[in-house]
Chain A
C-alpha cells in the first residue's frame, strides 16, 4: 500500500515537471553585414642620387657599364580583391646643354635582375591582398660622348615615371 502511494506521488511529480518546461513559441534571426573597401593604392617615385655624373670618365655610365642608380619607384596597395595589371612607363628627356643632346637609357633593377627598358615601359600584375612592388632605376648612355660635345657642367636630363592601370 505504501509502495503504491509512493509510485503515485512520483508520477504526479514527473507530470508537474514536464508541464513546467519552456515552450518555444516563436523564432527569428538577425544578419550581420560588413564590407571591406577596395583599399588604397599608392605609387611613389624617389630620387636617391642627385650627383652630377662625369659623362666621359665614369665607367659605370658608359654603354657597356652597369649604369648608375638615380632613384626608385614603389607601388603598394591594400585589400585588393582581385589581380590587377599595371604598367609603368618611363618618359625620358635626353641630357641637354645648349643645343647638344646626349641620349641615355633607363635600366630597371628588380633585385639583382637588370632589365634595360628598351621599350620604356614595364608591366606587372598586382596580386590579391596587399601587394608591394619596387624597382630601382638606373641610367647609362646609349653611345659614348662624342668628341664634338662641348665640355660643360650643365647637362641635364629627366625620367618621368608614370603608373597606369592596364597593360
Chain B
C-alpha cells in the first residue's frame, strides 16, 4: 500500500514538474537577426606651410650649390584609417626658377629643393620638378603621420646667374606641393 502511494506521488511529481518548470522558466517564443553593415573610408589630411617670410640673400653661402640650403617650407601627410591594402602616396613639387617681379629684369635663377624628414631620420634628398617624394602606407600601419621639411639651394647654373643678375629684392618663385595616391 505504501509502495503504491510512493509510486503515485512519484508519477504526479514527474508529470507536474515540467509544467512547473515551464511556468517559471522563460521560454523563447521567437528570434531573428538584423545585420548592421558599415564601411570606413581612409581620412587624408595634407597641409603645406611656409616656415618663414624671410627674403634670402641669393649670394649667401648657405644658398650656394655646396651649401646646406635654407629651410623654406614643410608638408604634413596624415592618414587616418589607413586602407587595408598597400597604398602609395606621391608628393610632387612644381616650381619655376626665381624671377623678379619687375618685368624688365629677365634674370632667371635656377634652384633645387632638398627634402628631409622632420625627425632628421635620413639625409636630405634633392627634389625637382620631375622627382617627387613617395610615401607608402601599408596594412596595419595604424595612424600615420609624415612631416618633411624642404629647403632651397641654388644650382650651379643658378649660382652663376645670381652672380651677374640685377640687384633687387623682388626675386620670387612659387612652389606648389601636390599629393597623389596610387
Chain A residues with a Cβ under 8 A of chain B: 41-45, 47, 50-57, 61, 70-71, 73, 86-87, 95, 97-98, 102, 104, 137, 139, 145, 147-166
Contact = CB atoms under 8 A, between A and B. Distances in A.
Describe A's contact surface by its main secondary structure.
strand
B33 A45 contact: yes
Contacts of B81: 56, 145, 147-151
Contacts, number: 128
Q: How many residues of B sit at the interface, in one of the four size bands?
A: 20 to 34
Interface of B: 25-43, 80-84, 139-140, 142-143
Q: Is the interface of B mostly helix, strand, loop or mixed?
A: strand
Contacts of A57: 41
Contacts of B84: 97-98, 150-152
Contacts of B42: 151
Find the residue from A137, A147, A166 having the highest chain B CB count within 10 A.
Answer: A147
B34 A154 contact: no
A53 B37 contact: yes
B28 A164 contact: yes
Contacts of B26: 87, 164-166
Given A42-B30, A154-B39, 14 more contacts: A44-B30, A45-B33, A55-B38, A61-B38, A95-B36, A149-B81, A150-B81, A155-B37, A158-B33, A160-B31, A161-B31, A161-B32, A164-B28, A166-B26
